[in-house]
A and B are shown apart, each in its own frame.
Chain A
Amino acid sequence: MNASDLAIDVKNLVTHYGTRKILDGISFQARQGEIMVIMGGSGSGKSTLLRHLLGLHQPTSGSISLLGKDITQLSADAMYDLRKNMGVAFQGGALFNSMTVGENVELPLREHTRLDENTMRIMSRMKLEVVHLAGFENLMPSELSGGMIKRAALARAIVMDPRLLFFDEPSAGLDPVVSAELDELILILRDAMNMTIVVVTHELESAFKIADRITVLDQGRILMSDTVAAVRASDNERIQSLLNRTPRNEAINPDEYMERLTREIF
C-alpha cells in the first residue's frame, strides 16, 4: 500500500487504563475512500481504539497518522485544524439537548467557518435531506426516535464534508430496517464523497454489508485485518466464535486470575 494513499496509519499502538493494558500493539491502515470496520466483542478495545483515533486519548506508545499527520505528536492548534477534516457520529448521538436538530447540525459550521448564514442553513438542510430528516430541523433531540437521533448525528458529522468519518455502533439499538438504511447511507457517502469511513460495530450483518476491510479486535490485539471474504474464511478460533456467536470458553491461568483478584491488596 502506497503511503500517500493512506488516510489512516496506526503503528504499534499500546495504551493502558491504569495498569491494565487495553490496546496491545495495534497496527492497521485504511486508504482514502475505504470503509474499515472495526469489530470485536465487548471489552475487546474497539471503543478505546476509536477514542485514540479521534485524539481523545494519548497512547502509552505507538503512532496514529491521520491524513499524513501523527496525531500523537500534533500541537493543539494543528489537531484543531485536522479535526475540520474529521466527522464523528457517536453511539448515543451526543446531540445538544438544548439545541434544535438544525442548530446541532449547523454547529460545526459555526465553530469552524465564517460562511454566510444562508449558506450554513442550506448546507445543514442538505445534509438533513441526505439522512432523510428533511423538515425535522426545528425539532428538539428529545422529540426524535433512536434511529432519527443517529441520523441527525450523522448529518452533523458530515456537514463539513470531512475526509474522515468515524461512526460508533451505527446499528446499536435500532430495528433491522433502520439499521439497513444507515448501512446504505454509509455506502452512499463513501461513493459520493470518497470519504474514508471507520465504523465500529459488533453487528456482523452490518459489517459484512459495508466493509471493504474488517479489523477484528480481541483483548486489545488485532486478530485479523483483511477483506470481508478473508475474515469469513478465517480458521481462527476466536474469529469463528465471534462470527458464530459462540460464548468464550477460555482456559484459566490460576496465577493471573489470583493476581487480578488480589492486586493492590497483597
Chain B
Amino acid sequence: MDIKIEDWPPFKIVRLCGDVDLHSSPRAREAILDCLKLKAPLLVELSAVSYMDSSGVASLVEGYQTAKKQGLEFGLVAVAQSAMNVLKLARLDKVFPIHASIEERLESA
C-alpha cells in the first residue's frame, strides 16, 4: 500500500493506493491520525484502493471519530468499489460523508 499526503487548502488529503489490509492498515491509521494532529480538515481519497478489509475501514472510523471530537471535517473521496462493499456491509456508507472527487468537495465549500 502507498500513502500520499497532499495539500489542497484548506484540506489535507490522504491518498491510499493498493491493498489496505491487516498488514498495511496500521500505516494508513497512523497517516490519518497524524494529519488530524495538524488541525486541518481531512479527506481520504480511495480511488486507487484495490482491496480494503475491515481493519482499513476501522482506521477510517477512528479517523472520523477523532476529527469529530476536534470539530474538524472528515470525508471520503472517490471510494473504490471494493472498499465501498465493506463500508456497506456495516452500513457505514450512510455514516461517512462521501464525495465523488476532491474537486467536487472544494466546489461545494
Taking beta carbons and an 8 Å cutoff, which residues of A are in contact with B? 113-116, 118-120, 122-123, 126-127, 129-130, 159-161, 188-189, 191-193
Contact = CB atoms under 8 A, between A and B. Distances in A.
Contact of A115 (B22, B85, B88, B92): B22
B88 A192 contact: yes
Residue with the greatest number of chain B CB neighbours at <10 A, chosen from A159, A161, A191:
A161
Contact of A129 (B26, B53, B59, B91): B91
Given A122-B61, A122-B62, A160-B22, A115 B89 contact: no
B3 interface: no
B88 A122 contact: no
8 contacts: A115-B25, A118-B62, A123-B54, A123-B55, A126-B61, A130-B89, A161-B86, A193-B85
A188 B59 CA distance: 23
Q: How large is the interface on B (under 10, 10 to 19, 20 to 34, 35 or more residues)?
A: 10 to 19
Residue with the greatest number of chain B CB neighbours at <10 A, chosen from A115, A160, A191:
A115
A197 to B, nearest CB: 14
Main SS at interface, chain A: helix
A127 B22 CA distance: 15
Interface in B38-62: 53-55, 57-59, 61-62
Main SS at interface, chain B: helix
B25 A192 contact: no
B29 A116 contact: yes
Closest 5 CB pairs of A and B: A122-B58, A192-B89, A161-B53, A126-B90, A192-B85
A192 B88 CA distance: 8
Nearest to B86: A192
B86 A115 contact: no
B90 A161 contact: no
Interface in B1-35: 22, 25-26, 29
Contacts of B55: 113, 115, 119, 123
